[in-house]
């Protein structure tokens, strides 16, 4: 199982590093997730996370996978319990992401050899999370902690840990975080705007293309 998990984690990190951006979908309803996902995919953003705070997010994962195909990685975010991991696996999620560090959640994901991006904030939390074998550590909420400068300091202290900053990340921050050593950057509202609420998909396309171009300089 450890060998299989290591293989899946490595493959996930490679896919994430290829695009350098994880797009976060969250809304009152997933009705527009597929439309937004197609725009993100066409712009070159192929790692997409549907937050469990959205009712019906797990059903949306299957829809996104069917629409986007195997070139996209579709995961579930906001995972905080072992039972939520079970539901994500049943829904066919390609990965899960957590806002917090929970050994129980990490262990359950590992039982399925499912890549997990584990949330943590302080160097102590990040180090502890990494010792439990996630694919990467999501530094959340990174903006509150000091943004790119904070991430750079953490990365210099823990250079072996692949970090994904999340929480309040703006489009103009993407370059700074990647310069600071981030494996990838998780971007939500600043990227999606009102697209997940039935808003302007053309404006989403412009933002997604701009972000993909910026991230592409680091791929």
Kindly report, residue by residue over 47-92, the tens digit of the pLDDT.
999 999 999 999 999 999 999 999 999 999 999 999 999 999 999 9
CA–CA distance, 202 with 124 (Å, rounded to integer): 42
Kindly report, residue by residue over 171-213, the tens digit of the pLDDT.
999 999 999 999 999 999 999 999 999 999 999 999 999 999 9
CA–CA distance, 39 with 64 (Å, rounded to integer): 12
Sort strands 73-77 and 136-139 into parallel, antiparallel or unpaired.
unpaired
The verdict on pTM exceeding 0.75 is: yes
Give yes or no for a contact between 161 and 126, defined as CB atoms under 8 angstroms apart.
Answer: yes
Name the residue among 21, 33, 20, 3 with its Cα closest to residue 199: 33
Say if residue 219's pLDDT is above 80: no
* Residue carrying the six token digits 């996978």: 65
Task: Check residue 110 and give its pLDDT.
Answer: 95
Q: Which domains does the chain have, with CATH numbers?
A: 2-216 (3.20.20.70)
Say if residue 114's pLDDT is above 90: yes
Task: Check residue 2 and give its pLDDT.
Answer: 76
Residue 114, token pair as written in the block: 């499912």
Q: How far is CA 216 from the centre of its chain?
A: 17
Say if residue 218's pLDDT is above 90: no
What is the band of 129 on the pLDDT scale with cuts at 50, 70, 90?
A: very high
User: What does each C-alpha distance from 164 to 16, 54, 69, 153, 169 come to in angstroms?
Assistant: 10, 22, 24, 14, 11
Sign of dihedral through CA atoms 64, 69, 72, 78? Answer: positive
Task: Check residue 5 and give its pLDDT.
Answer: 86
- Rounded mean pLDDT of the chain? 96
Kindly report, residue by residue over 138-155, the tens digit of the pLDDT.
999 999 999 999 999 999
What is the band of 1 on the pLDDT scale with cuts at 50, 70, 90?
A: low
Residue 67, token pair as written in the block: 């629409």
């Amino acid at each position: 199982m450890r060998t299989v998990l290591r293989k899946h984690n490595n493959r996930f990190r490679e896919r994430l590093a290829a695009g350098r951006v994880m797009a976060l979908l969250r809304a009152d309803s997933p009705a527009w997730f597929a439309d937004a996902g197609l725009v993100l995919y066409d712009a070159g953003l192929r790692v997409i996370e549907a937050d469990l705070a959205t009712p019906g997010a797990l059903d949306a994962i299957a829809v996104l996978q069917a629409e986007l195909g195997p070139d996209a990685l579709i995961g579930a975010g906001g995972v905080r319990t072992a039972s939520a991991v079970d539901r994500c696996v049943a829904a066919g999620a390609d990965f899960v992401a957590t806002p917090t560090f929970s050994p129980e959640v990490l262990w359950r994901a590992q039982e399925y050899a499912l890549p997990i991006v584990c949330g943590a904030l302080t160097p102590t939390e990040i180090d502890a999370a990494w010792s439990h074998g996630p694919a990467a550590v999501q530094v959340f909420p990174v903006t509150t902690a000091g943004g790119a400068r904070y991430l750079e300091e953490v990365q210099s202290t823990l250079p072996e840990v692949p970090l994904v900053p999340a929480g309040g990340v703006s489009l103009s921050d993407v370059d700074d975080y990647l310069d600071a050593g981030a494996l990838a950057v998780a971007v939500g509202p600043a990227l999606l705007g009102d697209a997940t609420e039935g808003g302007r998909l053309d404006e989403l396309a412009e933002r997604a293309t701009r972000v993909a171009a910026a991230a592409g300089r680091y791929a």
